[in-house]
């Protein structure tokens, strides 16, 4: 059996950083949508929908890559609660990356609006129009977006903790994909 890798696979690193940019952008676009009633609101919605679908598609690819490649292990001296927190936060991140776009799609469907990705590309509705379901999904989408934002911040804090405090190769395995020189 081969030794554990010291870094993430190149495709896993590419997907991680691409999705990190997309998710951070999506969170700011969503916050802008919630705070704006100007003509900018429609423009932000037209960015938010296709970006959400792209995130949904990429997270599926990312999960396939994750399950088909080996990841570097956490440091052996990492306290058990930190290892558990790392695993739980990754599961939560993946779950939110899957659930939020699906929830947004369902929310738009429940509003009775077409799920337009462009002027000519429409996704099918996944729920019938229902104002009460729409209201519930809208709230859930907002709360879960806040949870995603918090989870991303904790993920970033943990990465910086590994890079700056522990000075182990956890952050380096995703940044450079090779051991420190």
107-142 pLDDT tens trace: 999 999 988 888 888 999 999 999 999 999 999 999
Residue 158 has pLDDT above 90, yes or no: yes
Nearest to 170, CA basis, from 73, 87, 92: 73
| Per-residue pLDDT at 180 | 46
Name which of 37-46, 64-73, 151-160, 164-173 the model is least confident about. Answer: 37-46
| Per-residue pLDDT at 118 | 80
| Per-residue pLDDT at 119 | 81
Quick one: what percent of the chain has pLDDT higher than 70? 96
Q: What angle do CA 156, 158, 163 make, to 5 degrees?
A: 95
If DSSP codes are grouped into helix, strand and coil, which group holds residue 2?
coil
71-99 pLDDT tens trace: 999 999 999 999 999 999 999 999 999 99
CB 34 within 8 A of CB 44: no
Residue 159 has pLDDT above 90, yes or no: yes
* pLDDT band at 181; cut points 50, 70, 90: very low
| Per-residue pLDDT at 2 | 63
Averaged pLDDT score across all residues of the chain = 91
Phi, psi (5° rounding) for residue 153? -60, -40
Structure tokens at 129: 């129009």
Residues 130 and 111: their CA atoms lie apart, in Å, by: 6
**76 to 8, 82, 120, 126: CA distances (angstroms):** 17, 11, 53, 45
| Per-residue pLDDT at 116 | 80
| Per-residue pLDDT at 10 | 93
Residue 178 has pLDDT above 80, yes or no: no
* pLDDT band at 6; cut points 50, 70, 90: confident
């Amino acid at each position: 059996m081969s030794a554990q890798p010291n870094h993430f696979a190149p495709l896993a690193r590419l997907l991680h950083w691409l999705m990190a940019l997309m998710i951070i952008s999506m969170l700011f676009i969503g916050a802008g949508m919630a705070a704006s009633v100007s003509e900018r609101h429609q423009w932000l919605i037209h960015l938010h929908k296709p970006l959400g679908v792209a995130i949904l598609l990429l997270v599926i690819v990312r999960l396939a890559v994750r399950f088909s490649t080996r990841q570097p292990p956490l440091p052996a001296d990492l306290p058990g609660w930190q290892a558990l927190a790392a695993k739980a936060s990754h599961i939560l991140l993946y779950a939110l990356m899957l659930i939020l776009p699906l929830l947004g799609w369902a929310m738009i469907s429940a509003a009775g609006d077409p799920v337009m990705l462009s002027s000519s590309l429409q996704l099918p509705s996944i729920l019938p129009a229902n104002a009460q379901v729409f209201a519930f999904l809208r709230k859930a989408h907002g709360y879960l977006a806040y949870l995603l934002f918090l989870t991303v911040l904790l993920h970033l804090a943990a990465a910086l903790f590994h890079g700056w405090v522990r000075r182990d190769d956890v952050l380096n395995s995703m940044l450079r994909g090779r051991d420190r020189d």
